[in-house]
């Protein structure tokens, strides 16, 4: 079982990644950044560059868009791992037409086995209107189910809105 799981939830560009990075930076442990995004265009390349600059030095980065066990199984108690983010991880599986329930079970199992502290960032996608197309509705529903499962496993759940954290479960 991981030492401590913190789940950080918020809207797009809400400040959740910056909050998560600061949380990890103050933990006094070896920092691992699990990058789940895949770079397919210039806009995403720019976003990744901004995140690298914002994060600063002192992080080991693992770029792995899908396989949680590959990232989490080798981690030890002296590590803190930031998964940024569960939303991109889910998107990768959805677009690859993987079995989302099986992928989620694999992620949750890897979290349960992990020996490091974990900080998981995810988007809250259920606060808007019902999307007009089937793929977007499927994604929104899958993201909601994933967020519920991650929050249930987490010791601490924090919602970040406009850069401001609100603890929903546990303590910081």
Output the tens digit of pLDDT for each of the chain's 172 residues: 457 999 999 998 999 999 999 999 999 999 999 999 988 888 888 987 888 787 888 999 999 999 999 999 999 999 999 999 999 999 999 999 999 999 999 999 999 999 999 999 999 998 888 889 999 999 999 999 999 999 999 999 999 999 999 999 999 8
CB-side neighbour CA atoms (13 Å) of 52 = 11
Domains and CATH numbers, the chain: 5-169 (3.40.50.300)
Do residues 160 and 14 make contact, with C-beta atoms less than 8 angstroms apart? yes
pTM of the model: 0.93
Instruction: Look up residue 144 and give its two tokens.
Output: 């909601």
Quick one: CA torsion of 148, 62, 60, 10, rounded to 10 degrees?
Answer: -30
Sign of the alpha-carbon torsion through 39, 130, 125, 145: negative
| 51 in active site | yes
Do residues 37 and 90 make contact, with C-beta atoms less than 8 angstroms apart? no
């Amino acid at each position: 079982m991981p030492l401590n799981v913190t789940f950080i939830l918020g809207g797009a560009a809400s400040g959740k990644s910056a909050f998560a990075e600061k949380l990890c930076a103050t933990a006094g442990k070896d920092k691992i950044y699990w990058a789940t995004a895949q770079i397919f265009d210039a806009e995403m390349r720019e976003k990744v560059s901004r995140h690298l600059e914002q994060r600063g030095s002192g992080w080991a980065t693992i770029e792995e868009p899908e396989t949680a066990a590959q990232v989490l199984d080798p981690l030890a108690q002296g590590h803190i791992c930031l998964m940024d983010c569960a939303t991109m991880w889910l998107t990768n599986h959805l677009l690859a037409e993987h079995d989302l329930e099986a992928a989620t079970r694999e992620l949750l199992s890897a979290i349960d086995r992990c020996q490091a502290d974990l900080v998981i960032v995810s988007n809250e996608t259920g606060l808007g209107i019902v999307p007009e197309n089937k793929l977007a509705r499927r994604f929104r529903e899958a993201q909601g189910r994933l967020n519920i499962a991650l929050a249930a496993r987490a010791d601490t759940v924090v919602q970040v809105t406009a850069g401001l954290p609100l603890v929903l479960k546990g303590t910081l």
